[in-house]
Amino acid sequence: MCAEIEKIKQQMQSLRTEIEQHNHQYYALDDPVIPDTEYDKLFARLQQLEQAHPQLITVDSPTQRVGASPLKEFSQIAHVVAMLSLNNAFVDEDVEAFDRRVREVLLSNSVEYMAEPKFDGIAVSLRYEKGIFKAGATRGDGYVGEDITLNLRTIRSIPLVLPHDHSPLLLEVRGEVLMLKADFLALNERQVRMGEKIFANPRNAAAGSLRQLDSTITATRRLAFFAYGVGEFDDPDLPRDKQSHMMDYLVSLRFPVAKEAKIVSGVEGLLSYYQSIGSQRENLSYDIDGVVYKVNAVLDQEKLGYVSRAPRFAIAHKFPAQEALTQILDITVQVGRTGALTPVARLRPVFVGGVTVTNATLHNIDEITRKDVRIGDTVVVRRAGDVIPEVASIVIEKRLQQVPIFHMPSHCPVCHSHVVRYADEAVFRCTGGLFCPAQRKQAILHFASRRAMDIEGLGEKLVEQMVDHAIVRTPADLYKLGLTALANLQRMAQKSANNILQAIEESKHTTLSRFIYALGIRNVGETTAKDLAKYLGSLDRLMTISDVQLQQIPDVGPVVAQSIVNFFAEQHNQEVIEQLRASGIHWEEHEGQSPQSDAIKPLSGKTFVLTGTLSGMSREQAKEKIAMLGAKVSGQVSKKTDYVVVGIDPGSKYDKAVSLAVTLLNEDEFMALLQDHQQ
Ligand code: IVH
């Protein structure tokens, strides 16, 4: 009997080794040796044996990558070694400047670099303690990320244990989770078949799959992992002389790494690597958005060090935005939450950078006029990363006959109210307010969104139906919904109806700042809502305060103050708020902080203007950081502006700043200034 069990145990072990070997072939080497069906058979056989002999299941068995019960929310994990970002190079000159700086510091004529693809996925950190995968986290803000251990456990190319002869006390492996192009296409096909939402690109699919509170969903998605570095460690075997040796070591521990990585020297080496990877890009099994160069010698890396949040020893050389030619079939107008009308080009479907694009934003009428875009034109469509595709330019030579100029409609295409354009705005607006179904839908979606009332499951399709069937007219109506009304909607099973009702119920317990943000007051974004909550402490105070008093609050200028006063003066808004409160929405109120306490903040009284894109943070994050130090962010450069932060591709604000001799800060200088004033 014992011998029999021993035999089964061995059989299971060899199945496990074989399956992990195939995972490795598929994900790490991109070279599967057996068809999927054969893999599935091996897997099923192992599952059968484990079911018959549950005492023989091991933690590192491939069958254990199935996910666990759903979490309520992700907990946080601090990164002892920060997960920083990289500075970007866009043109050869940027790379030459990078190499020059490196050589100046290292006093060298030619530097050895490790060049590798820049994965277009999600950065993660994997923590192994004594050789066992203990915890995994997202990058978050670089210092604190989300604990996504359960999700990461389901990824087949992430070792659950390290080889037995290598069980270091601690090793944090850093890398990127992504979805291979083939798996992405298969997933979208499946989503279409199941009537589920399709993903725009592999990166979104990977991110959506990885940040699931229910890891059993992650387990059904094929995700891949590639390592590119190490975080915290306590491992005498980890080579510390060269980046490339460190990567070889990770390979010996069976971590997948990019096999296109290469050691090159000098700027010529870097640029020819860029060319070569660029030409292979389409044929790679995963999406990349550029390449990364790292000084290979670790001692030299340390000499070069870091500037604010990015290493000086490495740089990302990005590929240009992807472009394609197509034709404009029509120009339609979309109505947003605040009534803003956005012209959208309906395109002959075109494949750009891995996605089929059928619509592209035209931003506003000024852009249309500037680019002279007309229906029927052949246009260049551009897509960069996650950004909404846009019409970059038209090909005037291809306009065969004179076609009429596009005009914005004089009436809203949805509710037929008048359209107006205020003197100081680029946009046209529908004056229908909440009478306009389009605005109503957007207002409700905004109210329910994650950073507002966070009603999970209340998506676009559902809100559309609710408004069209007139069962919801205002956010307050959400709290009056019954099961029958909901379950009568299309594609709404009783179970999902129950889930939505549950989510609505749960949203009743909220915070004042979320509630203020959820109201969708013009010009009141998340940060302003937080400030209002912080300084006023109660909704009643906010509803009754004068615009002069409002302007005492940091970051609240005359425009924001006026929007707030106007909003609460509206009878209709007061009624909705009354109903919302009556339905049981509640939060904790407090006395409110005196805005005066801001007078002692390090940058209070200063005004910043941002122009161009920052590589290390979004514009919202930058604004928040500036506000936290007590300074204001303004949209326009004037003589009163203290600093203009200049990112990549700055706009006309840059020229204005130069002409007014306002102090300019590049991203590094801006980060340094923030750091100097951190409290
Ligand atoms: S090295 C100190 N190597 O790019 C930072 N990063 O802007 C070390 N990324 O979020 C990062 N491919 O996740 C490195 N081969 C690669 C990479 C890579 C993609 C991502 C990384 C980070 C971002 C940095």
pLDDT for the residue numbered 649: 81
Q: Which residue has the tokens 């820049």?
A: 118
Three-class SS of 148-163: CHHHHHCCCCCCCECC
**DSSP letters for 412-439:** -TTT--BEE--TT-SSEEETTGGGSHHH
- The closest residue, in CA terms, to atom 2 on ligand 1 is 84
Angle at 304 (CA atoms; ends 298, 305), nearest 5 degrees: 90
pLDDT band at 286 (very low <50, low <70, confident <90, very high): very high
pLDDT for the residue numbered 679: 54
549 versus 223: which is more confidently predicted? 223
Q: How far does the centroid of ligand 1 lie from the alpha carbon of residue 610, in Å?
A: 25
Q: How far does the centroid of ligand 1 lie from the alpha carbon of residue 316, in Å?
A: 8
- The closest residue, in CA terms, to atom 3 on ligand 1 is 228
Tell me the mean pLDDT in the region 229-242: 96
Neighbours of 12 (CB within 10 A): 20
- The ligand 1 atom at the shortest distance from the C-alpha of residue 175 is 13
- 671 has a pLDDT exceeding 60: yes
- 317 has a pLDDT exceeding 60: yes
pLDDT for the residue numbered 70: 77
Contact criterion met (CB below 8 Å) for 297 and 114: no
Alpha-helical runs (H) found in 157-284: 181-193, 202-210, 215-220, 243-252, 266-280
Integer Cα distance of 254 and 227 in angstroms: 10
- The ligand 1 atom at the shortest distance from the C-alpha of residue 616 is 7
- The closest residue, in CA terms, to atom 17 on ligand 1 is 118
pLDDT for the residue numbered 442: 93
Tell me the mean pLDDT in the region 205-214: 91
Amino acid letter, 663: T
Tell me the mean pLDDT in the region 176-197: 85
Integer Cα distance of 358 and 157 in angstroms: 35
pLDDT band at 90 (very low <50, low <70, confident <90, very high): confident
- Count of helix runs (H) and strand runs (E) in the chain: 25, 24
Query: Could you tell me which residues come within 8 angstroms of residue 13 by beta carbon, excluding any fewer than 6 positions away?
Result: none
419 versus 201: which is more confidently predicted? 419
Pocket flag, ligand 1, residue 228 (CB < 6 Å): yes
Q: How far does the centroid of ligand 1 lie from the alpha carbon of residue 37, in Å?
A: 35
Start-to-end CA distance of the chain, whole Å, equals: 69
Amino acid letter, 64: Q
Residue of 7, 9, 72, 118 marked active site: 118
371 is catalytic: no
- Which value, to the nearest 10 degrees, does the dihedral of the CA atoms of residues 634, 640, 645, 649 take? 80
- The ligand 1 atom at the shortest distance from the C-alpha of residue 316 is 7
- The closest residue, in CA terms, to atom 18 on ligand 1 is 118
Tell me the mean pLDDT in the region 186-199: 79
pLDDT tens digit sequence for 631-660: 888 888 888 899 999 988 888 888 888 888
Contact criterion met (CB below 8 Å) for 337 and 520: yes
- The ligand 1 atom at the shortest distance from the C-alpha of residue 258 is 15
- 307 has a pLDDT exceeding 80: yes
pLDDT for the residue numbered 162: 93
Integer Cα distance of 409 and 627 in angstroms: 39
Alpha-helical runs (H) found in 211-314: 215-220, 243-252, 266-280, 298-304
Pocket flag, ligand 1, residue 142 (CB < 6 Å): no
Pocket flag, ligand 1, residue 311 (CB < 6 Å): yes
- The ligand 1 atom at the shortest distance from the C-alpha of residue 294 is 1
Pocket flag, ligand 1, residue 84 (CB < 6 Å): yes
pLDDT tens digit sequence for 435-490: 899 999 999 999 999 989 999 989 898 999 999 998 999 999 999 998 888 888 88
Q: How far does the centroid of ligand 1 lie from the alpha carbon of residue 156, in Å?
A: 21
Tell me the mean pLDDT in the region 247-258: 96
Q: C-alpha distances in angstroms, 362 versus 251, 412, 553?
A: 47, 17, 36
pLDDT for the residue numbered 675: 83
Tell me the mean pLDDT in the region 135-141: 92
pLDDT band at 600 (very low <50, low <70, confident <90, very high): low
Q: Which of 427, 332, 344, 341 lies closest to 390 in space, CA to CA?
A: 344
Strand order across the beta sheet in which 632-634 lies: 632-634, 607-611, 643-646, 663-665
Q: Which of 311, 319, 313, 317 lies closest to 292 in space, CA to CA?
A: 317
Evaluated on CA atoms 193, 198, 203, 204, the torsion sign reads negative
Query: Could you tell me which residues come within 8 angstroms of residue 652 by beta carbon, excluding any fewer than 6 positions away?
Result: none
- 309 has a pLDDT exceeding 90: no
Strand order across the beta sheet in which 288-295 lies: 88-89, 314-318, 288-295, 112-119, 262-265
DSSP letter assigned to residue 451 = T
- The ligand 1 atom at the shortest distance from the C-alpha of residue 139 is 10
- Give the highest mean pLDDT range of 47-56, 221-230, 457-466: 221-230
- Which value, to the nearest 10 degrees, does the dihedral of the CA atoms of residues 564, 567, 568, 570 take? 160
pLDDT for the residue numbered 28: 72
Pocket flag, ligand 1, residue 229 (CB < 6 Å): yes
Q: How far does the centroid of ligand 1 lie from the alpha carbon of residue 176, in Å?
A: 8
Tell me the mean pLDDT in the region 318-326: 83
Contact criterion met (CB below 8 Å) for 294 and 113: yes
- 234 has a pLDDT exceeding 60: yes
Q: How far does the centroid of ligand 1 lie from the alpha carbon of residue 618, in Å?
A: 17
Q: How far does the centroid of ligand 1 lie from the alpha carbon of residue 269, in Å?
A: 20
Pocket flag, ligand 1, residue 309 (CB < 6 Å): no
Tell me the mean pLDDT in the region 563-570: 90
Integer Cα distance of 274 and 284 in angstroms: 14
Pocket flag, ligand 1, residue 86 (CB < 6 Å): yes
pLDDT band at 495 (very low <50, low <70, confident <90, very high): confident
Q: How far does the centroid of ligand 1 lie from the alpha carbon of residue 556, in Å?
A: 37
pLDDT tens digit sequence for 9-31: 999 999 998 998 888 888 777 67
DSSP letter assigned to residue 147 = B
Contact criterion met (CB below 8 Å) for 412 and 335: yes
- 507 has a pLDDT exceeding 90: yes
- 597 has a pLDDT exceeding 60: no
Contact criterion met (CB below 8 Å) for 113 and 290: no
Percentage of the chain with pLDDT > 90?
54
Output 31-34 pairs: Cβ under 8 A, ≥24 positions apart.
none
Q: Give the lowest-confidence range in 233-242, 291-300, 526-535.
A: 526-535
Q: How far does the centroid of ligand 1 lie from the alpha carbon of residue 330, in Å?
A: 40
Pocket flag, ligand 1, residue 34 (CB < 6 Å): no
pLDDT tens digit sequence for 323-345: 888 999 999 999 998 899 999 99
Pocket flag, ligand 1, residue 287 (CB < 6 Å): no
Largest CA distance in the chain: 90
- 598 has a pLDDT exceeding 70: no
CA atoms within 13 Å, Cβ hemisphere of 658: 7
pLDDT tens digit sequence for 139-170: 988 889 999 999 999 999 999 999 988 889 99
Pocket flag, ligand 1, residue 308 (CB < 6 Å): no
pLDDT band at 593 (very low <50, low <70, confident <90, very high): confident
Pocket flag, ligand 1, residue 79 (CB < 6 Å): no
pLDDT for the residue numbered 1: 58
435 versus 315: which is more confidently predicted? 315
- The closest residue, in CA terms, to atom 10 on ligand 1 is 123
